[in-house]
Chains A and B, each alone.
Chain A
């Protein structure tokens, strides 16, 4: 059993002012996940008829991408390639003080406490992050062979879970890693290549419109990405963007 001091960001809504509130838990188990520790805190708060800490989470196995908070100033906490839900309390010591804040960026407005709104990422996908194929149009799947290493590379980019840790870790709150991973995946595959020019311009513009910052290649996003998405995706996005601008038809 460990004693853990928590300083958790509490904020009623995006308009009100937020701040840290202190809590102490005496009976934290080493095998608990970080979110289960928050569950425990919340049960205690609710029993006292206080408002529990609101936080995002769903699958709790590191794949849905809904969880994500800043733990001691780092997105998803101290472990590499690990989402908040997969972080366990054995990564902390008895008596530790843990600071918990929401991901912050203008494009991620706060909902309450640690909950944020990441629909800006959906809007980027909506602007062009797809292959424009209707149901029923698809040809036989083996018509177009795709080299194993190309498919694997496409998968590496496609593994993004859309948690937003890249934005939270970026000094400019850029969504370049998120956006470029989708662009790269679809550019690598022959099915997606046809639309690359249109797609890359639309998605980059949408990223701007949502209020994300620019990329300065500090590479922090790759380090903190739970899925280890490479920053070279960003370079590829830049390449495709420049190419489409230079080669545009009209």
Chain B
């Protein structure tokens, strides 16, 4: 039997839904706010902005991060920019246009009302960040500068050199630290949430481990907000930070929060390729390189010549050949998938034959080195730092890498999960991007959730909590949760096998990248599920974690994260298997057009899958949120 979820979308025309919601939402008076406590897990853009905004309103906030400082959350690494429908360029942008671009970019698999709200609140974010002292790029006149980004026809991207994420994060980090100073936020750095505590079905607190001392801590609150980011690190080789993990959302999932569209992962086309078995991460190179760089592979398989020795007529500029209209600027999912096809055909380049060339020789000839240096100098320097190769002299080698999780905890219009009192914001939820995220929309979503949406929707929830006293952390449910977490850690330590958590992670990652990555097939996914189960079994029997739980123990931290990945991986495959269509980043080889493009099936799959935990990773229950498009008619994405 299929369950259908109610997203609680407000009444009214699309453009009035958010204001209608705000009109009706309940309020909490300033007096009462100081009696209420909120836990926010994660201090990235979503977490820090939410914690700061709630504290400014007068709530008592406890803020957690596993890094040694909130400023290090992985939002810091975003390069490109942040979109906002300001229409400063007078080039025809509007909230509706931005909403439509986002919806189309997501291949019509996101919730209309949420996506519209994202566009609607985008302008406020630029105002807020500017007021915080974020040094956005400016015109010589002193007004804010914009640039264009993939998949749209207007210039609406605001940026701060190639470090927009860092600057936005520092803005919200500073807002957070200001509240730490006033005492409204208690900051717990180097703390990892290991379980969610439910009392009478409501989220009432968390169990966290102090990573410096190993001590288990109980924290109670009137509501819990998860802003723990995405889980692309599950592929091991990804653009994510080493510590990024899914533990917070997965453990919430196991307590009853539904996971939506877990298999939708954006694979970014322009990353540095893996150079050896030892590699720990893949570095992203800004997508902007594709404005002047041409992507190619040798025409013939197993060509061992150096790039510069291959004559022009023996090169295959496959993107220009297949997508003459967009050429090298085809959207991310298409560029990534095409690269993989070439690599799979044996035309990959580099030591491991896992990359394609990104060639600047024509641009260098056309504009001269100075112009190219001005545009991409920092990226060329970064490329040289990492690979030791001068890209002015020979083409760069790039390859696709896991980057962003469109999936995450299912949330309703209020960003509340299926657990009462548990909210999920930023990349940790699933809501706004559909099956593929547009460039420069991730920073936006994190900020809009934290600054402008959650403060209203959480308040609506907290209005009914005023009568409830502070959560008692000696409640038996806390005992139970702490006990379970301790037992799990003890199990890891007691296994005493001979494979490290990292080795398991690498195996899991490559299995997943291979069979549930850029393209998926029934056969591959079924095989993957089988292999993942094997691996999970081996993990239980053959893991090795030295030391003990009462001290700093990074191996123990890793073990916990990998244990969760082992379960999510299966859910991702089950989700991908269930969706018998291709849409956005989800490409099922069985469902493609004759030209090899994604073939969507709106009649059968116009829904978000929301999975419910059922005691075992192998038997999740599928719930559906049917996507209803009131204002737009889904069309076929074409970039030919």
- Interface positions of A (Cβ within 8 A of B): 29, 31-33, 35-36, 39-40, 43, 45-47, 49-52, 54, 56-66, 79, 82, 86, 88, 90, 111-112, 115, 117-119, 121-122, 125-142, 145-148, 151-152, 154-155, 158-159, 161-162, 185-186, 189, 191-192
* Complex interface: chain B residues within 8 A of A65 (CB): 69, 71-72
Cβ-closest 7 pairs across A and B: A145-B142, A130-B174, A138-B131, A138-B127, A126-B177, A141-B130, A155-B135
Contact pattern, B 177-219, Cβ under 8 Å of A = 1, otherwise 0? 1101100000101000000000000000000000010000000
Query: What is the bound-complex CA distance between A125 and B167, given in angstroms?
Result: 15
Query: What is the bound-complex CA distance between A135 and B544, given in angstroms?
Result: 47
* A interface secondary structure, majority: loop
* Complex interface: chain B residues within 8 A of A121 (CB): 69
Query: What is the bound-complex CA distance between A125 and B176, given in angstroms?
Result: 10
Residue in contact with B72 in the complex, picked from A64, A146, A189, CB distance below 8 Å: A64
Q: A86-B385, A158-B135 are in contact. Are A129 and B177 (CB under 8 A)?
A: yes
B466: Cβ under 8 A from any A Cβ: no
Query: From residue A190, how far is it (CB to closest CB) to chain B in Å?
Result: 9
Q: A122-B70, A155-B161 are in contact. Are A192 and B133 (CB under 8 A)?
A: yes
Query: From residue A164, how far is it (CB to closest CB) to chain B in Å?
Result: 10
Check A60–B280 contact: CB distance below 8 A.
yes
Residue in contact with B160 in the complex, picked from A35, A90, A155, CB distance below 8 Å: A155
Q: A139-B131, A148-B140, A189-B133 are in contact. Are A119 and B68 (CB under 8 A)?
A: yes
**Which residue from chain B places its CB closest to the CB of A57 in the assembled complex?**
B242
Query: What is the bound-complex CA distance between A192 and B175, given in angstroms?
Result: 13
* Complex interface: chain B residues within 8 A of A32 (CB): 276, 278
Residue in contact with A131 in the complex, picked from B174, B243, B278, B283, CB distance below 8 Å: B174
Query: From residue B423, how far is it (CB to closest CB) to chain A in Å?
Result: 17
Check B74–A59 contact: CB distance below 8 A.
yes
Check A139–B178 contact: CB distance below 8 A.
no
* Complex interface: chain A residues within 8 A of B436 (CB): none
Check A47–B544 contact: CB distance below 8 A.
yes
Query: What is the bound-complex CA distance between A66 and B175, given in angstroms?
Result: 20
Query: What is the bound-complex CA distance between A120 and B127, given in angstroms?
Result: 30
* Complex interface: chain B residues within 8 A of A135 (CB): 49, 52-53, 56, 128, 175, 451-452, 455
* Complex interface: chain A residues within 8 A of B175 (CB): 130, 133, 135
Check B177–A122 contact: CB distance below 8 A.
yes
* Complex interface: chain B residues within 8 A of A189 (CB): 133, 135
* Complex interface: chain A residues within 8 A of B258 (CB): none
Check B135–A154 contact: CB distance below 8 A.
yes
Query: From residue B124, how far is it (CB to closest CB) to chain A in Å?
Result: 8
Starting from the known contacts A46-B555, A64-B241, A122-B70, 10 additional A-B residue pairs (CB-CB under 8 Å) come to A29-B278, A35-B280, A47-B500, A58-B72, A63-B76, A112-B552, A122-B180, A122-B189, A134-B56, A158-B133
Query: What is the bound-complex CA distance between A33 and B275, given in angstroms?
Result: 11
* Complex interface: chain A residues within 8 A of B141 (CB): 145
Q: How many of B's residues come within 8 Å of A, CB to CB?
A: 82
Residue in contact with B68 in the complex, picked from A33, A50, A117, CB distance below 8 Å: A117
Q: A121-B69, A126-B177, A134-B56 are in contact. Are A60 and B131 (CB under 8 A)?
A: no
Query: From residue B276, how far is it (CB to closest CB) to chain A in Å?
Result: 5
* Complex interface: chain B residues within 8 A of A151 (CB): 135-138
* Complex interface: chain B residues within 8 A of A39 (CB): 278, 280, 502
Query: What is the bound-complex CA distance between A79 and B128, given in angstroms?
Result: 38
Check A118–B69 contact: CB distance below 8 A.
yes
**Which residue from chain B places its CB closest to the CB of A43 in the assembled complex?**
B500
Query: What is the bound-complex CA distance between A119 and B212, given in angstroms?
Result: 13
Residue in contact with B131 in the complex, picked from A49, A154, A191, CB distance below 8 Å: A191
- Interface positions of B (Cβ within 8 A of A): 49, 52-53, 56, 67-72, 74, 76-77, 86, 88, 124, 126-133, 135-144, 160-161, 163, 166-167, 170, 173-175, 177-178, 180-181, 187, 189, 212, 241-243, 275-276, 278-281, 283-284, 382, 385-388, 451-452, 455, 496, 498, 500, 502-503, 544-547, 551-552, 554-555
* Complex interface: chain B residues within 8 A of A158 (CB): 133, 135, 160, 167, 170
**Which residue from chain B places its CB closest to the CB of A31 in the assembled complex?**
B275
**Which residue from chain B places its CB closest to the CB of A29 in the assembled complex?**
B276
Residue in contact with A61 in the complex, picked from B130, B180, B281, CB distance below 8 Å: B281
**Which residue from chain A places its CB closest to the CB of B175 in the assembled complex?**
A130
* Complex interface: chain B residues within 8 A of A131 (CB): 131-133, 174
Check B76–A125 contact: CB distance below 8 A.
no
* Complex interface: chain B residues within 8 A of A142 (CB): 88, 143-144
Query: What is the bound-complex CA distance between A159 and B167, given in angstroms?
Result: 8
Residue in contact with B126 in the complex, picked from A31, A45, A134, A141, CB distance below 8 Å: A141
Check A137–B131 contact: CB distance below 8 A.
yes
Check B546–A191 contact: CB distance below 8 A.
no
Query: What is the bound-complex CA distance between A52 and B124, given in angstroms?
Result: 47
Query: From residue B492, how far is it (CB to closest CB) to chain A in Å?
Result: 12
Query: What is the bound-complex CA distance between A119 and B187, given in angstroms?
Result: 11
Check A159–B163 contact: CB distance below 8 A.
yes
Check A33–B280 contact: CB distance below 8 A.
yes
Query: What is the bound-complex CA distance between A192 and B171, given in angstroms?
Result: 12
Query: From residue A94, how far is it (CB to closest CB) to chain B in Å?
Result: 16
Query: What is the bound-complex CA distance between A128 and B177, given in angstroms?
Result: 9
Most A CB contacts (10 A, CB to CB) among B124, B131, B142, B388 go to B131
Check B142–A133 contact: CB distance below 8 A.
no
* Complex interface: chain B residues within 8 A of A118 (CB): 68-69
* Complex interface: chain B residues within 8 A of A186 (CB): 133
* Complex interface: chain B residues within 8 A of A61 (CB): 77, 281, 283-284
Query: What is the bound-complex CA distance between A111 and B551, given in angstroms?
Result: 10
Query: What is the bound-complex CA distance between A122 and B129, given in angstroms?
Result: 20
Most A CB contacts (10 A, CB to CB) among B160, B178, B545 go to B178
Query: From residue B640, how far is it (CB to closest CB) to chain A in Å?
Result: 34
Query: What is the bound-complex CA distance between A46 and B163, given in angstroms?
Result: 36
Q: A58-B241, A125-B173, A141-B127 are in contact. Are A63 and B166 (CB under 8 A)?
A: yes
Query: What is the bound-complex CA distance between A33 and B387, given in angstroms?
Result: 10
Query: What is the bound-complex CA distance between A157 and B352, given in angstroms?
Result: 40
Query: What is the bound-complex CA distance between A134 and B130, given in angstroms?
Result: 12
Query: What is the bound-complex CA distance between A226 and B175, given in angstroms?
Result: 25
Query: What is the bound-complex CA distance between A57 and B67, given in angstroms?
Result: 9
Check B544–A191 contact: CB distance below 8 A.
no
Query: From residue A28, how far is it (CB to closest CB) to chain B in Å?
Result: 9
* Complex interface: chain B residues within 8 A of A35 (CB): 280
Most A CB contacts (10 A, CB to CB) among B135, B281, B451, B455 go to B135
Check B76–A59 contact: CB distance below 8 A.
yes
* Complex interface: chain B residues within 8 A of A119 (CB): 68-69, 189
* Complex interface: chain B residues within 8 A of A50 (CB): 546
Query: What is the bound-complex CA distance between A193 and B336, given in angstroms?
Result: 46
Query: From residue A128, how far is it (CB to closest CB) to chain B in Å?
Result: 8
* Complex interface: chain B residues within 8 A of A112 (CB): 551-552
* Complex interface: chain A residues within 8 A of B554 (CB): 52, 54
**Which residue from chain B places its CB closest to the CB of A86 in the assembled complex?**
B385
